[in-house]
Every structure is written in structure tokens, then in C-alpha cells.
Amino acid sequence: MKKIVFILTILFTATQISAQKIGVVDTNYVLSKLPQYKEAESRLNSQVTQWQADIQRLQAEYERKREAFENEKVLLVGDQLKLREKEVVDMETNIRNTIGARFGTNGEVNQLRSNLTKPYQDQIWNAIKTVSTKNNLGIVLDKSNNISVIFLDKKYDYTEAVLNLLGKSTPKGEDTKSNNLRPGSNSRGDSKTNIKGKGGALQQRKAKAAEAREN
């Protein structure tokens, strides 16, 4: 009896899932197309590069200290030996702690990356929610979140729809306003030029009429 109930439950769940419309979005692709995110990511990478250079400098200094200690420790005795040995050990510990604090699981790099992506992830989530409601999607999968998609019909990929929605919600620059003129329309300066040209032609006609009367 339990087996029958279990099978019916699986069939019911499968039927419910199949009845729902499924969509797929590649959030990493969407993020890569956001200029603000790319700029912030560039600043993060610059900071990471700086931290890596700092650690390399500490490691180089540690290697010099350790090598000097190994070469000279036969000449050291008592407190002097302990002091030099402690100096080397402390430098090694400092490097290990710095690497963990910067690049560990809960290190500063991951925290900065989380702070970097969160505002844009919120924007993408709101856009996905809007697209899901508009297209009656019951399930939305993130293609970039370690999901193996063997085959995907383009009509189920809503990545561009999300990206377009984010693009429409982004304020346009001032240069866009200048492109809103109708084709063939003139600016204010061009209008003044045309008026001046008409006035010159009128003066020429008046001069020719006066010359004809004198003759």
C-alpha cells in the first residue's frame, strides 16, 4: 500500500511539474552585459591584484628572513636564537592569516564580491519575476548556476527578455535626447540661417526692381 501511495505521489508531482511552464535565464550573461557591473567588477579585480602583490611581497620578505636565519642559526645562542626563530615563525603565521582573511571562504574577496553582485542580482531577480508573470512561467532555472542543459529550445530561454527589461529600465544619457529629432528637421541655428537666406533673396529682388524703374 505504501508503495502504491509513493508511486502515485511521484506521478502527481511529475504531472504538476509538466503542467507548469518552465523558462531558463543565464544570469551570468545578463551581468556581463551591465556596464555598471563590469565597472564595479573591474575595481574589485584591481583590489584583488593589489592584495596578491602585498602577499607576494610578504612571502619574499619571509623567504629572505628564513634563509638568513638558517644560515646564521649555528652562530646564535640563547635568547638571540629564540628571538630570531620567533621572528621567522611570526612572519609565517602573519602570511597564513592574511591569506585566510583576504582569500578564505569568508574572506574579504568573497564579501566584496557578494556586496558587488547583490544590487544587480536584486535587479535581475525583479526583472525575472516580471518576465515570469508576463509569460506565465511556473519555474525559472538559472543556466549559469551549475545546471547542465543538454538541449534548450530558444523559445524557453528568457535571458534576452530579462536583459531587454533591464535595459529599458536603465536611464538613457543626455546624448539620446539629441537623437530624438525627426529626420530632416533642423536645429535652431539652421532655422536662423534659412531665414537669413530668404531675407537676402528678397533684398536682391527689390534691388533689381528699382534698377528696372530707373532704366
Q: Give pLDDT tens digits for 121-164.
A: 888 889 999 999 988 888 888 888 766 665 667 777 888 888 88
pLDDT of residue 80 exceeding 70, the answer is yes
> Nine-digit cell at 147?
545546471
Give residue 4's pLDDT band: very low, low, confident or very high (50, 70, 90): very low
Of the candidate ranges 84-88, 103-107, 167-171, 191-195, the one whose mean pLDDT is the lowest:
191-195
The helix/strand/coil state of 142 is strand
- Residues 47-79 have pLDDT tens digits of 999 999 999 999 999 999 999 999 998 898 899
Angle at 75 between CA 73 and CA 81, to 5 degrees: 50
Distance CA 20, CA 140 (A): 10
pLDDT of residue 213 exceeding 60, the answer is no
Residue whose C-alpha cell reads 551549475 in the numeric block: 146
Contacts of 94 by beta carbon, 8 Å cutoff, 6+ apart:
58
Distance CA 12, CA 8 (A): 6
CB count within 10 Å of CB 24 equals 20
The pLDDT of residue 101 is 95
